[in-house]
Amino acid sequence: MTPSDIEAAGDTKPLASPEPRRQSDTTGTVLEITTTLTDEQNIRIRNKTDRTILTLLTWIYFLQVFDKAVLSTSALFGLQEDTNLTGNQYSLIGSIAAIAQLAWQPFSAWLIVKVPPRILMPTMVLGWGVAEACIAACHNFGTLITARFFLGLFEAGCLPLFTYLTGIWYRRSEQPLRIAIWNGMNGVATMAAAAISYGLGHIQSELLRPWQTIFLFAGLLTIISAPLVYWKLDNDITVARFLTEEERVLGVERLRVNQTGQINHEFKWSHVIEMVLEPKSWLWVAMVILPNMGSGMTSVFGTLIIKGFGFDSFQTSLLNIPFGAMQCIVIVVSCWAATKARLKSAVLIAFTVPAIVGTAMLYGLNRNASDRPALLVAYYLCACLFAANPLILAWAIGNTAGATKKSTMLSLIQAGVSAGALAGPLLFTSDQTPRYLPGIRAVLGIFIALIGAAVIQVLNLMFLNKLHKKRRVANGKSAEIVDQSMQTSVNATSKDKGQEQTLEDVATRDLTDRENDEFIYIY
């Protein structure tokens, strides 16, 4: 069953849609054009968008995560020994990509607004594919860290761009599940990296070591995907080649209820200043730093931790496959639950608790042979931490309006992701082997802090909604309005729901969430 099938269940009533659209004819006369959108048309457009845009995002995000996952698996096949890595050099190799991503984020915010996605994304894909393939030629710490730096540089815009694209192609009620699907490639890529590394690791060659074969395979697979991106991706729904002309018009109306504005290529510094001054922006950043610090335990040192349970390299590679499956299940189920419950914060907290339990077990259990089953269960429970990123991304994008503000916010979140990914591996050092207790203890505290940050953000958003209610009353509007973007079916006109500002005005004026008093913050 596709995501559209899940959401379409029960959406059968044909309901009228939006406001009249204003358009001038050749004489300059302003005409009122009313577009009617039924639920059947809404579902058809969503299905077509899923088949093209979501499929493309899912495949490219898989490649991006796969490129990272092979670093961990390559450590099982002689990477550190062949390149003479010592001390914390392997940790630095794991962190350098995040350092590059962190440094590049101010440029990412500008590029997302100024460069069409159809140009930006294939350029990024080609760049990191070349960098990945070049790792196969590295022979020491200096060449490895250089190649990994450029890999991170080209991957820097991936997360903000993908979240931005999800925001402009889907309604707010549809975004969590779509983000879950492409972000769920974290688990698929983990499984694929483990399985492919297991197979490629058995190849004996006089020219290439097993870890070199793994990196070369990953790099070439990414390189040949760059032309696919250019061929299939469209910049936005107004020029979507997979839709008919009528469907493009209906698609614009379908997305108008988001109240987050249309595509706008003007970079507005006022949006940046507003974003920087808002506490909720920095709470999003704190919330993504924490789980991404914690993910260093599994993404960079996960295979080494499992090997410390008493398994050999090939067994460890295979035992990482169930962990990837857990990641997929956790990401999809958590975002599905958030879509149904419409409470991202509660679902985030609920999935953080098992990660805390698993981490506590890893810290407290001995590494005896009799404890291996419990240790594996504990390690697999830590996969619940991967619910955090897609939930926080969907939560943040759904609470941010204005083209520049949205792109800048996403780039700031990516900076937080990068900062967490940078710091996470540094919590673990080679002298902690095989138990890595100091690093695991730090991760336990990080997960507890994440729950605290989520609670503070909920209280903050509640306060912001109260301020908007007061503004609406002061402006002569109804205090209570219905958020159409969180409905699964197409709704009647906004005025029928108590909204008095036309959605056309919101889109054309590129209002931010703070400027639009009818914007409703979601929890």
Query: Would 37-255 and 278-477+508-522 be classified into the same CATH topology?
Result: yes
pLDDT at 348 over 80: yes
Q: Closest Cα to residue 74, out of 183, 165, 147, 160?
A: 147
pLDDT, averaged across the chain = 81
Are 76 and 317 a contacting pair, CB within 8 Å? yes
| pLDDT(500) > 50 | no
Position 28 confidence tier, pLDDT thresholds 50, 70, 90: very low
C-alpha dihedral sign at 302, 303, 304, 306: positive
pLDDT score of 53: 94
pTM: 0.71
Residue 300 pLDDT: 67
Q: What is the mean pLDDT of residues 138-144?
A: 90
Query: pLDDT (tens digit, 9 = 90+) per residue, 476-498?
Result: 888 787 766 555 555 544 444 44
Q: What integer pLDDT is reported at residue 502 of this predicted model? A: 46
Q: How confident is the model at residue 508 (pLDDT cuts 50, 70, 90)?
A: low
State the pLDDT confidence band at 404, using cuts at 50, 70 and 90. Answer: confident
What mean pLDDT is predicted for residues 266-272?
84
By the 10 Å C-beta count (0-12 exposed, 13-18 middle, 19+ buried), 385 is classed as buried
Residue 246 CA, chain-centre distance (Å), reads 31
Q: What is the mean pLDDT of residues 379-404?
A: 88
pLDDT tens-digit series, residues 144-186: 999 999 998 898 888 888 888 988 898 877 887 888 888 878 7
Highest mean pLDDT among 12-21, 183-192, 299-308: 183-192
Which of 151-155, 192-196, 454-458 shows the lowest mean pLDDT across its residues? Answer: 192-196
Mean pLDDT of 121-142: 92
Q: Choose among 406, 400, 403: nearest CA to 521.
A: 400
CATH code, 37-255: 1.20.1250.20
Q: In 233-301, where does DSSP find H-type helix? A: 245-256, 269-277, 279-294, 296-299
Q: pLDDT above 90 covers what percent of the chain? A: 27
Residue type, 66: F
The average pLDDT across 328-348 equals 87
Cα separation of 268 and 282, whole Å?
A: 20
Least confident of 59-63, 96-100, 420-424, 484-488: 484-488
Classified by CATH at the fold level, domain 278-477+508-522 comes out as Growth Hormone; Chain: A; (1.20.1250)
pLDDT digit string, tens, across residues 273-328: 999 999 999 999 999 999 999 887 887 677 778 888 888 777 887 888 888 888 88
Is 80 exceeded by the pLDDT of residue 501? no
Q: What is the pLDDT of residue 295?
A: 84
Q: Which residues, 6 or more positions from 462, have their beta carbon under 8 angstroms from its beta carbon?
A: 521, 523
Torsion angle of C-alpha atoms 429, 433, 437, 442, degrees rounded to 10: 20
**12-16, 106-110, 232-236, 479-483: which is most confident:** 232-236
Residue 419 DSSP SS3: helix
Residues 261, 320: Cα–Cα separation, whole Å: 42
> Is the pLDDT reported for residue 475 higher than 70?
yes
Q: How confident is the model at residue 439 (pLDDT cuts 50, 70, 90)?
A: confident
Q: Residue 493: its pLDDT value, please?
A: 43
26: left (phi over 0), alpha (psi -120 to 50) or beta: alpha
pLDDT tens digits, one per residue of 65-100: 887 778 877 777 778 888 888 877 877 887 788 788
Return the domain boundaries, the chain: 37-255, 278-477+508-522
